[in-house]
Amino acid sequence: MKSSIFTLGVIAPAAVLAFCRNDDFNLRAPNITNSQARRNLNGLGKRDLIPVAMYTHIMMAAPPTEDYGPSLQVQRDLINKNYAPWGFQFVDVGTMYYFNADWAANADALRKEKSSQVRRGDYAALNMYLVEGETAGFCFFPTDPAGGPVDQGTLDNDGCFVGIKDGRSATGGTLTHEIGHWLGLPHVFEGGCAGSDGCDDTVPQAEPGRGVMAIPGDFNSCAATAKESCTPGIKDNVKNFMDYTDCSSEFTPCQGGRMMEAWSWRMGRALAEGVTFKTLMKS
């Protein structure tokens, strides 16, 4: 099916994450040590925010009946609020709509076809795909520079896929969670009680916390219902963005440093010979 396309220019722009599908792809988080992560925290508050180009691709069966611009900007503002303490600012460089029922069915539908056709920017550009029929989300980790330059398939595949509802939410933490993967963070329950998310300031966790607010709107109230899934007396990471919880509202210092280290795997990353990419959004 041929898709219709139109573009909006830059529009001067957390709740529970139901399910993240990163595990479906058997993706491996970057091997970054605690010491590597923490050295990136030196002088963090004195550095300028790192601008990250963010391209937004909205895939729908038919044109929207309302202007999505304001709600998209509210979610971008929330993302930037969550990432500013760790040195990142996501800069909207364009929003493109694709009216194609096949592409809009879910993130998996013709995923490689659609991402190879529409992705923009180099390996340091975040491509966020908002797919009408998608009910969860996933995002690809950066690959290790030791593996060599980025090839065409890896570049085309890179990005985050979520539902349109999440991309327009005023309070939802799904995009913040998925971008955490894009910047090298695994789930806090990675490997269960015997595993590790690579950070020494999160606690071992057997499974998703599924924290629920005891008091509506109070991020601290999930502690009242939090499980102690690995160690008696030590509650799960129910406020962490990399759990599944109503109270997602924080990253830890180690996670912040880990994201900065992972960013160095993206910024200025060499591309293999012959690899090409688009930059401008079509009008």
List pLDDT tens digits, range 50-76: 999 999 999 999 999 999 999 999 999
Split at pLDDT 50, 70, 90, the class of 146 is very high
Give the pLDDT of residue 220.
87
Give the pLDDT of residue 11.
27
Q: Residues 113-131: what's their mean pLDDT?
A: 97
- Catalytic residue from among 113, 132, 134, 178: 178
Give the pLDDT of residue 235.
95
pLDDT of residue 38 exceeding 50: yes
The average confidence (pLDDT) of the chain is 90
Give the pLDDT of residue 6.
36
Split at pLDDT 50, 70, 90, the class of 216 is confident
pLDDT of residue 3 exceeding 60: no
Give the pLDDT of residue 138.
94
Q: Which region among 14-28, 120-134, 240-254 has the lowest average model confidence (pLDDT)?
A: 14-28
Of 56, 61, 88, nearest to 72 by C-alpha is: 56
- Using an 8 Å Cβ cutoff, are 211 and 245 in contact? yes
Domain 4-185+257-264: top CATH class: alpha beta
pLDDT of residue 282 exceeding 60: no
Split at pLDDT 50, 70, 90, the class of 219 is confident
Task: Express each pLDDT in 235-270 by its tens digit.
Answer: 999 999 999 998 999 999 999 999 999 999 999 999
The answer to whether residue 178 is catalytic is yes
Residues forming CATH 3.40.390 domain(s) in the chain: 4-185+257-264
Dihedral pair phi/psi, residue 263, rounded to 5°: -60, -35
- What's this model's pTM, rounded to 2 decimal places? 0.91
Choose between 60 and 213: higher pLDDT.
Answer: 60
Split at pLDDT 50, 70, 90, the class of 225 is confident
pLDDT of residue 12 exceeding 70: no
